Amino acid sequence: MLEIHNLYKRYGKFKALDGLNLEISKGELFGFVGPNGAGKTTTMKIVSGLLSADSGEVFVDDIDAIRDRQALKKKIGYMPDFFGVYDNLKVIEYMEFYASIYGIEGKEAKKLCYDLMELVNLSDKAENYVDGLSRGMKQRLCLARSLVHNPELLILDEPASGLDPRARVEMKEILKNLSSMGKTILISSHILPELAEMCSSIGIIEHGKMVVKGTVQEIMNTMNSSNPLVIKVLDEQDLVIRLLKENPLVENISIKEGSISIGFRGGQREEAMLLQSLIASKVSIHSFSREEGNLESLFMQITEREDMSGGAENEN
Ligand SMILES: Nc1ncnc2c1ncn2[C@@H]1O[C@H](COP(=O)(O)OP(=O)(O)OP(=O)(O)O)[C@@H](O)[C@H]1O
């Protein structure tokens, strides 16, 4: 549905996008995560046809998004991270105004607008002034506005930012609902756990490059493979330590809270072999597993790793 190849964008000398690649399949709810300044908004604006790229390709289905912006507009609904709403309009007037931009007028417009307001839980606010809405309601109104032309691909830039926990949950439910209706959704955030539970896949962007992409579980598995292996034995701890010292894949050994924690260079197969050898030595193993990271530490790990390998510098 969406394909981005080698996308580059500079602001003056500053490299905001540095050869970004991304593919999203139809119907996916894709979480686009990265720290502040990573290049999320820049990418989303280019995909939505609001900003020019220096080079690279963007395709939405078979539409060349960089060269055919007219065709692109029909396919895409864009919700910016910062939006102005017309405070002196009522909610229904605001919606009808946007419908009219797409040539939808009269009864058809009214029906469409009420349907969309229902979708974002704003039906009972139709006659309220936009000015008096809470931030969460304004955010949902903006989402409804981006849906008036029934776009296939939704690009939502931090739709949950600045919302209280209840409003965030409400927004998430609406997005899940839109996803189950078959929309393809690209949603950005700088908070990984916030996206993890609802997104089918996640991509982490840092310094204008995609650094990791996959399902949350795939990303966790990859990252966890560099975490310590923790072995808890019921007795014979000294024997286990001696056996571990003989294993060339064991890098370091420490005792933590009654468990043996080791740096282990092997993958799953080597882990299984190590476990087998311990059992063959008649050691009573209580547990044997990689330490699991949480999403927050995972995000820090990935972005810190990128920092150390030297990403694009802000040359301004
Ligand atoms: N118009 C501009 N002129 C100069 N620099 C810009 C401009 N727009 C963005 N930048 C810079 O480009 C980098 C990427 O910005 P972008 O807004 O795409 O990041 P982001 O990942 O969306 O960040 P945030 O989470 O803070 O919204 C940042 O360092 C930003 O300061």
pLDDT in tens, 136-195: 888 889 999 999 999 999 999 988 887 888 888 888 888 888 998 889 999 998 877 778
Among 42, 187, 209, which residue has the most ligand 1 atoms within 8 Å of its CB, making it the best to mutate? Answer: 42
As a whole number of angstroms, the distance between CA 176 and CA 33 comes to 18
Expressed in angstroms and rounded, the spacing between residue 140 Cα and the centre of ligand 1 is: 24
Binning pLDDT at 50, 70 and 90, where does residue 295 land?
low
Point out the ligand 1 atom lying closest to the alpha carbon of residue 314. Answer: 29
- Token pair listed for 27: 């119907």
Binning pLDDT at 50, 70 and 90, where does residue 311 land?
very low
Binning pLDDT at 50, 70 and 90, where does residue 294 land?
low
As a whole number of angstroms, the distance between CA 277 and CA 270 comes to 11
**Share above pLDDT 90 across residues of the chain, in percent, rounded to a whole number:** 49
Amino acid symbol at 139: Q
Domain residue extents for the chain? 2-221, 228-290
- Identify the burial level of 258 via C-beta atoms within 10 angstroms of its C-beta, where 0-12 means exposed, 13-18 middle and 19 or more buried: exposed
Expressed in angstroms and rounded, the spacing between residue 15 Cα and the centre of ligand 1 is: 10
Contacts of 79 (CB under 8 A, 6+ apart): 142, 143, 145, 146, 154, 155, 156, 157, 159
How are strands ordered across the β-sheet holding 2-11?
14-24, 2-11, 55-60, 63-64
Residues 130, 122 contacting (CB under 8 angstroms): no
**Are 2-221 and 228-290 in the same CATH fold?**
no
Count Cβ atoms below 10 Å from residue 226 Cβ, excluding itself.
13
Among 4, 10, 22, 36, which residue has the most ligand 1 atoms within 8 Å of its CB, making it the best to mutate? Answer: 36
Expressed in angstroms and rounded, the spacing between residue 29 Cα and the centre of ligand 1 is: 23
Q: Is the CB of 37 under 6 A from ligand 1?
A: yes
- CATH 3.30.70, domain 228-290, yes or no: yes
Q: Is pLDDT of 214 > 50? A: yes
Task: Choose the most confident range, by mean pLDDT, from 128-142, 186-200, 215-229.
Answer: 128-142
**Can you give the pLDDT at residue 190?**
80
- CATH 3.90.230.10, domain 2-221, yes or no: no
**Can you give the pLDDT at residue 223?**
67
Q: Is pLDDT of 313 > 70? A: no
Which residue carries 């008096």 as its tokens?
132
- Dihedral sign (CA 119, 121, 123, 128): negative
Point out the ligand 1 atom lying closest to the alpha carbon of residue 43. Answer: 18
Q: Is the CB of 36 under 6 A from ligand 1?
A: yes
Point out the ligand 1 atom lying closest to the alpha carbon of residue 39. Answer: 18
Point out the ligand 1 atom lying closest to the alpha carbon of residue 190. Answer: 25
Binning pLDDT at 50, 70 and 90, where does residue 46 land?
very high
What's the mean pLDDT when you consider all of the chain? 87
Expressed in angstroms and rounded, the spacing between residue 38 Cα and the centre of ligand 1 is: 7
Please report the DSSP string for the chain in residue order: -EEEEEEEEEETTEEEEEEEEEEE-TT-EEEEE--TTSSHHHHHHHHTTSS--SEEEEEETTEETTT-HHHHHHHEEEE-SS----TTSBHHHHHHHHHHHTT--HHHHHHHHHHHHHHTT-GGGTTSBGGGS-HHHHHHHHHHHTTTT--SEEEESSTTTT--HHHHHHHHHHHHHHHHTT-EEEEEES-HHHHHTT-SEEEEEETTEEEEEE-HHHHHHHHHTTSPEEEEESS-HHHHHHHHHH-TTEEEEEEETTEEEEEE---HHHHHHHHHHHHHTT--EEEEEEPPPPHHHHHHHHHHHHHHT-------
What pLDDT digit, counting tens, does each position of 69-89 carry? 888 988 999 988 776 667 688
Contacts of 59 (CB under 8 A, 6+ apart): 2, 3, 65
Q: Is the CB of 11 under 6 A from ligand 1?
A: yes
Q: Is the CB of 15 under 6 A from ligand 1?
A: no
- Token pair listed for 210: 């995609």
Binning pLDDT at 50, 70 and 90, where does residue 2 land?
very high
Count Cβ atoms below 10 Å from residue 193 Cβ, excluding itself.
14
Expressed in angstroms and rounded, the spacing between residue 6 Cα and the centre of ligand 1 is: 18
When pLDDT is averaged across residues 115-135 and rounded to a whole number, the result is: 90
